[in-house]
Chain A
Amino acid sequence: QVQLQESGPGQVKPSETLSLTCTVSGGSISSYYWSWIRQPPGKGLEWIGYIFSNGRTNYNPALKSRVTISVDTSKNQLSLKVSSETAADTAVYYCARAKEGDSFMDVWGKGTTVTVSS
């Protein structure tokens, strides 16, 4: 049973860069799309971007200038970096998996909370 586990600093200061990691266990990164999705407190789900196992990426146009997603297949990890953080980036951040050829996410991590505050 594949499991995803997000990890990160918990809190970042405004203008700093947020770095999160998603560790994939019990399965391979290959042949899947790996998305980052966030949820501000009390609000809905917002897709941030995805990376395919071959390194192809696609980002939410509203965040594209600040976001970088990468994958390390040797460690079975993907990472998310969001620069120039503001309070509006405070959210629970999830990683999620979609099989190649599918348009839905069948496995999600438990999420990690990030607070942007000085």
Chain B
Amino acid sequence: SYVLTQPPSVSVAPGKTARITCGGNNIGIKSVHWYQQKPGQAPVLVIYYDNDRPSGIPERFSGSNSGNTATLTINRVEAGDEADYYCQVWDSSGDHPVFGGGTKLTV
């Protein structure tokens, strides 16, 4: 099964830029999606197909994907962005979604 690797934690000061990585073998040829999960809440989709944003997600959130690493970038980080972030791809061989282990963003 396809494996996604995320750093357990990332810290950033308010107003700065946070970058959360998601590593996988040749992940650049896959579509990567990102979810934000705040404590006690369900995950919320923040980026889909590498760099598309659902309606209601601020433009501060963006994504990129190349080679063996996908990256979620959050510009001008706010206290309200503090959450766990999960990357996800579709494992075509098993025909199912795969999640990364999650990254806790501390602001």
Contacts and interface: CB of A to CB of B under 8 A. Distances in A.
Interface of A: 35, 44-47, 49-50, 58, 60-61, 94, 96, 98, 102-106, 108-111
Nearest to A104: B33
Contacts, number: 56
Given A44-B102, A45-B86, A103 B97 contact: yes
Contacts of B97: 35, 47, 98, 103-105
B67 interface: no
* Interface-centre pick from A44, A47, A103, A109 (highest chain B CB count, 10 A): A103
A104 B42 contact: no
Size bracket of the B interface: 20 to 34
Contacts of B1: 61
B96 A50 contact: yes
Contacts of A47: 96-99
